[in-house]
Structures are given as C-alpha cells and as structure tokens.
Amino acid sequence: MLTKLLHNALKQAQLLSGVRNTLSLWSHKTSVRACAARSATFQSLEDGLELNYGGAPMRFNYVWLRDHCRSASSYNSSTNQRNLDTASIDLTIRPDITTVEDGHLILTWPGGHVSKYSLSWLAENSYEGKKQSTIQPRIFWNSDIYKNANIPSAKWDTFMSCDDEVKKFLQNYLLYGIAFVDDVPATVEATEAVTQRVSLIRETTYGRMWCFTSDLSRGDTAYSQLGLDRHTDTSYFHEPCGIQVFHCLKHEGTGGRNLLVDGFYAAETVRQQSPENFELLARSPIRHEYIESSDNHQNHMTGFGPLINVYPWNNEMYLIRYNNYDRSVINTIPHDLVQPWYVAHRELTKELRRPENELWVKLTPGKVIFIDNWRVMHGRESFTGLRQLCGCYLTRDDVLSSARCFGLHA
C-alpha cells in the first residue's frame, strides 16, 4: 500500500513537472499583461490565455473560450446545451479586452459580445486540472485488501425501499467494482426487480434476464459443469456489457464457487513493474469473437480493442478486456510487436493468476452479486449436480448516470 502511495505521489510530481515543462514552452507570448485579483493573474499569449489561479497555471485557447461562453445567447442553461454554432467562430479570434474581476474572467470579443467565466469553473474544467484528477476514484484490491475492508452487503428490504441504501451500494460498487445484495428471494422476478433498482437491463443475444443450467443449451462453456478461468464477458462487443449480475437460485451438488479478480489491481502492478508492457497492451488492438451456430441460435460477433484501455489525458484505466476463450486471431499488430505482446500478456496473466489476488465467493440463493465487467474478472470452479443461475447485464452508461444523480463521483 505504501509503495502505491509513493507511486501516486511520484506520479503527481511527474504530472506537475510535466505541466511546468509545457508552460515553459509557452514563452513565445506576443504580449504580456498581468492583472492580480483574488490571487489570479493572467498573461495574454498568441492563441490563448495563461491563467494562474490558486497557484495552478492553466492555459485556455481563445477559440475554446468563445466556444465555452455561458452567456444566454451562447448556451441554454435550462437544457445544458450549446446554442452557439461552433463553426461560426473565427478561428483567429482574440478578445479586445481581458479582465479579471470578482472571481471572474471577463472577455470582450470583437463585435462587443461579452463572455464571463468564474475562475473556479475554469479551474474545474481546465486540461491541467483534468490531467491531475481521476474520473472515477477506485480502490484496487487483492483478496486481503477486499476482505479487510469489510464492505457490508445491502439488504433486500431496505434496498428496495430506501434510496440511501442504493446510494451506499453504488458507492461501494464504484470503489471496488463488486457489490452484493443479500436476502433476495431466489426467483428470476426478484433478481430482475433488485437489478432495476440500479439501472436499465441490457438485452443481448442471451436475452434480457437469462437463466441457465449446465445443459449446454448454448454454444458456450458457461453452459457446462466445467471450471472457467477468470475472464470478462462480451469482450467481442465493441462496447462490452458494463455490469454483470449473478444470482444462484439453486445448487444441489459440490464445487461451483465463483472467482473474482480485480483486473485493475493486476494491470497496475504490471504498469509499475514494466511500463513498456503495460503500454503495449494499452495500444495494441486485439479482436475478440463469438461464433454460434445451432438450430436456434445463429450469431457471429466481433469486437476490436486493446486489452487495457486508459484515458489518454491522465492514463487512468477504465476498461480491461481479458477473455482467452474468446480472443480471436491476432492479425492487427505488426510482426515485430507480436512477441513483445505475448510477453506483456504473460506478465498480466501471471498477476491475474496470483492466488493472493483471487477472491473466492460461494454464491448461495438470496445473494445477488453485481460485477463491473469493465474491471473485475469472474470465473468459477467446476461443480457437480444441478446448479441454476440467473442474471443479466446492465448498461454501464446508465449505472454511472444513476450514481451521478445520487451525487457520487463517477
């Protein structure tokens, strides 16, 4: 943990130094005006403004500033939509007058239009600020970290009647990528109801709510009694399903525990150990594929994308695709990167397979689990006897929207 804190501190320092270096390149300013107001100063540059506010230097392009004007004619604050036609902005636009007053940057443009931006809004929406903040705060975990956190499960009764319980549940889900609801009646209908407290169900080729046993009714190993190695689902979609919901309605037999592994914890370890391997996995597009041909089901789906996906402005991970069953032919990376890619894939696999990173859970009737399918891998051990599972997928956008509407950082 200490190593991680140090790493984060170092990363912050590197980001700050990166910002400083970038700013030093902006010394080709054509005119310099400085104005102090509430600890804010600005300098007019050739194509924008450098604003120092609260000790943090930020840069704003003039076209960007005109485009982000929040005046009534430029922006509809009732619908939170832009009125201004961006294509109508002169790409060489510069303000005639620039001032900082009462916590606001005020620009008067040629023609007389006035734009006013609060300094706090600018700080919050600057590239420099975004670069140093995370889109979704998370706690990466191995088995010990998760168990020691003692995250309580939500309870069916309160979950179905109290919004605060859903909010707490979502907060845990956002941080850890898994969350549980207990005491749910062991039926498909109750599972659907508990799911809909969170968000919209995503219908796929498997249906809206699916219910399966080991009857091999579909052309997928999931419909057998075999063990399944850790993987993410629907990696063959260009947008893999956001959340997986599982509820074990019945099991008369042995085995069948579920395995959970935090893919981001393993990938972050790779990033710290071998940044070049992490980078390769993050920029090499790989194809996943699902082909099913039976009397009742004809499907052929493919999806392209790197194993690890990061936001380019801050390198924060947001999606991992890892499914060795469904990974298709590799023919989307140049020959000289094929061997290095396998080396990187091996390192990630090694981390994912460390026993200390595995969280084993016995799903019993009544316990519903929500899994972030963009982050946490699932698998299972082989089993005997009749095991009946139901569940569904949720759309990620809608779950995150629910979380934001509760005021959560997502």
Shortest approach of Fe ion to residue 398 CB, angstroms?
21
Closer to Fe ion by CB, 67 or 289: give it: 289
Q: How far is the CB of 233 from Fe ion (least distance, A)?
A: 4
Find the part of the chain contacting Fe ion (CB under 5 A) among 130-138, 229-237, 335-343, 392-400.
Answer: 229-237
| DSSP result, 191-213 | HHHHHHTT-PEEPBTTBSSEEE-
| Identity of the residue, 113 or 218, whose beta carbon is nearer to Fe ion in the bound complex | 218
Closer residue to Fe ion (CB): 241 or 410 = 241
Q: How many residues of this chain bind Fe ion (CB under 5 A)?
A: 1
* Three-state SS sequence of 316-350: CEEEECCCCCCECCCCCCCHHHHHHHHHHHHHHHH
Among the residue ranges 45-53, 233-241, 263-271, 392-400, the one whose residues contact Fe ion (CB under 5 A): 233-241
d(C-alpha 410, C-alpha 404), whole Å: 6
3-class SS of residue 245: strand
Nearest to Fe ion by Cβ — which residue?
233
Shortest reach from residue 231's CB to Fe ion, in Å: 6
Residue 135 CB, nearest distance to Fe ion (Å)? 26
Q: Does 326 bind Fe ion (CB under 5 A)?
A: no
Closer to Fe ion by Cβ: residue 142 or 244: 244
SS (H, E, C) 62-99: HHHHHHCCCCCCCEECCCCEECCCHHHCCCCCCCCEEE
The piece of 16-24, 38-46, 65-73, 230-238 that touches Fe ion (CB under 5 A) is: 230-238
Least separation in angstroms between residue 310's CB and Fe ion is 24
Question: Which lies closer to Fe ion via its Cβ, residue 206 or residue 341?
Answer: 206
Task: Name the residue nearer to Fe ion (CB basis): 323 or 402.
Answer: 323
Binding positions for Fe ion, 164-183, rule CB under 5 A? none
372 near Fe ion (CB under 5 A): no
For the chain, give the number of residues. 410
- Within residues 109-138, the interface with Fe ion by CB under 5 A covers none
User: What element of type H or E holds 8?
Assistant: helix 2-24
Q: How far is the CB of 359 from Fe ion (least distance, A)?
A: 16
CB nearer to Fe ion: pick between 313 and 325: 325
Query: Smallest distance from the beta carbon of 64 to Fe ion, in angstroms?
Result: 43
How far apart CA 31 and CA 11 sit, in angstroms, is 34
Q: Residues 46 to 65: which contact Fe ion by CB under 5 A?
A: none
Contact by Cβ (8 Å): 136, 125: no
Q: Which residue type occupies 318?
A: Y
**Which backbone phi and psi does 152 adopt, to 5 degrees?**
-75, 150
Token digits for 103? 């916590």
233 interacts with Fe ion by CB under 5 A: yes
The answer to whether the beta carbons of residues 288 and 326 sit under 8 Å apart is yes
Given the structure tokens 């590197």, which residue do they identify? Answer: 14
Residue 363: enclosing H or E segment and its boundaries? none
Q: Interface with Fe ion by CB under 5 A: which residues?
A: 233
